[in-house]
Structure 1
Amino acid sequence: MPAFDTALAILDWLGLVVFAVSGALVASRKEMDIVGFVLLGTATGIGGGTLRDLILDAPVFWTVEPGYLVACVVVSCLVFFTAHVPQSRYRVLLWFDAAGLAVFAVAGAEKALLLGADPSVAIMLGVATATFGGILRDVIGAEPSIALRREIYVTAALLASGGFVALTLVGVPREIAMGLSIAAGFSLRGAALAFGWTMPRYKARAGRSPDEIER
């Protein structure tokens, strides 16, 4: 279905751009120079796919299609000069980010399956594709890691990649499996944004500190 593949490619590029913008915005909050903007924007945009390809021992996608790398650099430089604009539209960016998260998770899982990865590995690599760039962004920018926050983010990526792998294993056609899985991941992340949903937090029993539990 050429139309479906075209729509998926558009969402893939949109996700890359939004991820790069989110990385560059962290650089703006840290008042970095333009090199810092490019570093954070690029790490966020291509970090997850790079990790996936390295684990799969496959050609890293942006070395095969340098346009991805160029896009991250260009977007990061643009944000350096216009950071006040996306910052004032940050809520809108979060919704585009939700779409990119779901698309990256499904695309990462599909690539892993195509290269012969075990289904459980494909699910985890789908999650890594969608979230590792954000983790890199937070580490480099000295921000609280997205992986350790209670907001529903990694869970949405897990739903998207896990749903796609499960539907594929039971023989659902690719386009339907991808469409349903992207919609599921986006819906969960979107609901979390709209209603402030978070994951439940572990609470130690009264009278015992975390240090005592570790001992």
Structure 2
Amino acid sequence: MSEIFIYIDYVGTVVFSITGSIIAGKAKFDFFGMLFLAFLTAVGGGTVRDLIISDTVFWTLKPVYLYLIFGATLSTFFLIKVYEKYYRLLLFFDTLGVGTFVVIGTHQALRLGFNNETAFIMGTMTAVLGGILRSSFSKEFSILLNKELYATVAALASILFITLSHSNIDINYCAVITIVTTFILRYGSRRFKIYLPVLKD
């Protein structure tokens, strides 16, 4: 996979760290608490993925992820009002992160020879588990209970990437198509208020 996706992964890590530390700041966590929640949000999904598929946890090989998380958290500590003001920009990069994390998680499992079903779970988990962990350790309303098609978008993106990767399409094009589709699905569902049905009392 092209190096460009590594840098996009770094961007996703920074934005996930910012969203995690913003939630921690609103919950009145101290700086260490903000850093902890940023870490869970940014690399929680990828860490669990690597443990499940018996791969070396990615950030232990590339400490740059830890520096990115620390830097993002430190900037949030001083610039939280600025970040909140530019919510739409954060949403854009957050969606970019979701799409990229889905691609990386799904591709990692497929590359190691796991079946499609496992790759699907690993891709979805990489993208959304960090947010779930963030919600668990803060007062935030869980993304699993949120009406927005967040986890659903990640799941559909993973299925798309698996389908494309089994075709004759170059893996980089598969990644681009998947990320673009993630944007279309997420922004489209928000724009037209598309939600999955829920059980009624």
TM-score (normalizing by structure 1): 0.88
Corresponding residue for residue 161 of structure 1 = 158
Corresponding residue for residue 138 of structure 1 = 135
Corresponding residue for residue 114 of structure 1 = 111
Partner Cα distance (2:176, 2:79) in 1: 34
CA contact (8 A) 2:51 2:57 kept: yes
Matches within 5 A, 1:1-215: 5-203=2-200, 210=201
CA contact (8 A) 1:41 1:72 kept: yes
Q: Deviation per CA, 1:59-106: give whole Å up to 9, x if none.
A: 000000011012111211211111111011122211211111011001
- What letter matches 2:183 in structure 1? F
Helix, strand or coil at the partner of 2:3: helix
Q: Deviation per CA, 1:38-74: give whole Å up to 9, x if none.
A: 0111110111110110101110000000110121112
Give how far 1:140 is off: 0.6
Partner Cα distance (1:27, 1:113) in 2: 34
Partner Cα distance (1:174, 1:33) in 2: 42
Of the structure 1 ranges 129-138 and 146-155, higher mean CA displacement relative to structure 2 is found in 146-155
Partner Cα distance (1:156, 1:146) in 2: 12
CA contact (8 A) 2:27 2:139 kept: no
Helix, strand or coil at the partner of 2:102: helix
CA contact (8 A) 2:149 2:189 kept: yes
CA contact (8 A) 2:95 2:186 kept: yes
CA contact (8 A) 1:156 1:186 kept: no
Partner Cα distance (1:100, 1:190) in 2: 14
Partner Cα distance (2:17, 2:165) in 1: 30
CA contact (8 A) 1:101 1:186 kept: no
Partner Cα distance (2:131, 2:65) in 1: 17
TM-score (normalizing by structure 2): 0.94
Percent identity of paired positions between Structure 1 and Structure 2: 36
CA contact (8 A) 2:50 2:58 kept: yes
Instruction: List alignment gaps of at least 5 residues for structure 1.
Output: 204-209, 211-215
Task: Report how many aligned residue pairs link the two structures.
Answer: 201
Partner Cα distance (1:60, 1:73) in 2: 18
- What letter matches 2:137 in structure 1? I
Helix, strand or coil at the partner of 2:2: helix
CA contact (8 A) 1:20 1:76 kept: yes
